[in-house]
Amino acid sequence: MPELIEVELYRRLAERTLDRPIAAVAAPDSWFLKRGLTGNQVTDVLVGERFVAARRRGKLMLLDTDRGPTLGVRFGMTGRLTVDGQATIDRLEYGSGRHDPAWDRFSVHFDDGGTMAVPDPRRLGGVELDPDEDRLGPDAATVGAAAVRDLLAGSAAPLKARLMDQHRLAGLGNLLTDEILWRSGLDPARPAGGLEAAEARRLHRHLRATLAELTARGGSHLGDLQEERHRTGRCPRDGTALDRRQVGGRTTYSCPAHQR
């Protein structure tokens, strides 16, 4: 499920792990350990430590330890987080909600008997130590209007592709970007550098408002456009048949009438 909103909900859940001594680590899937990390290494550096802060940048969750490295967790498309057996209140969008223990690709056990686990059926996520946070652009939830203007300026890439480029702006995924551009009345395929100043400001305003609103609703999939995001969908604003295209390599729904 994860886009910025889901990862933020996971981060809040992960705050429950703070200050609890780590007794053991389970990394049964070496594919899930990135950048050459081994199960022994991650165990060695985490056992005996405690997480002291749960941070997030874009879709990357960061757990700082007391004296050791920072644990970086990515959730891919199907990764989730459980702490002491509890998930966040978000609905399962993939699957029937069943939880196969074999999907726990990485777990941290605390000395109080509790556990933080990362179930990920498709194994698209992963963990690493001390991830390079600066490879990510500013977080979309707090980005300023000037930064949005600058990241669009001079680019021939489609607006949607630019907004989803995690190196330039961190956190937006396919669903959120479609929702934001739909609310902004902007065509996803327009060259990013071609926006007027007023359009860029409008985009920034809807970007911030959409993230705040959908976070309050509880997920990236709870946008106004979402239920019409299918082949015969119609624009919730004006009833026009939605366009379905590939933009920036991703399936994109947009209203040909009011998104220009």
Partner DNA sequence: CCGGATGTTCACCT
Partner DNA sequence: GAGGTGAACATCCG
Residues that bind DNA (CB under 7 A): 1-3, 6, 31, 58-59, 74, 76-77, 93-96, 98, 100, 102-103, 121-124, 155-158, 161, 164, 166, 173-175, 219-221, 229, 246, 248-251
Q: How far apart are CB 114 and DNA at their closest, in Å?
A: 26
* CB contact at 8 A, 9 and 222: no
Nearer to DNA, 205 or 245 (CB): 245
CB atoms within 10 A of CB 175: 23
Give Cβ neighbours of residue 245 (< 8 Å, ≥ 6 apart).
188, 189, 251, 252, 254
CA distances from 120 to 13, 86, 87, 93, 127 (A): 17, 15, 13, 13, 12
| Tokens encoding 148 | 């949005």
* CB contact at 8 A, 85 and 76: no
| Tokens encoding 188 | 């996803």
Secondary structure class of 95 (helix, strand, coil): coil
Q: How far apart are CB 110 and DNA at their closest, in Å?
A: 27
Nearer to DNA, 68 or 137 (CB): 137
Read off the amino acid at residue 215: T
Nearer to DNA, 101 or 113 (CB): 101
Nearer to DNA, 67 or 98 (CB): 98
Q: How far apart are CB 161 and DNA at their closest, in Å?
A: 4
Q: How far apart are CB 167 and DNA at their closest, in Å?
A: 8
Read off the amino acid at residue 59: K
Q: How far apart are CB 1 and DNA at their closest, in Å?
A: 3
Nearer to DNA, 51 or 103 (CB): 103
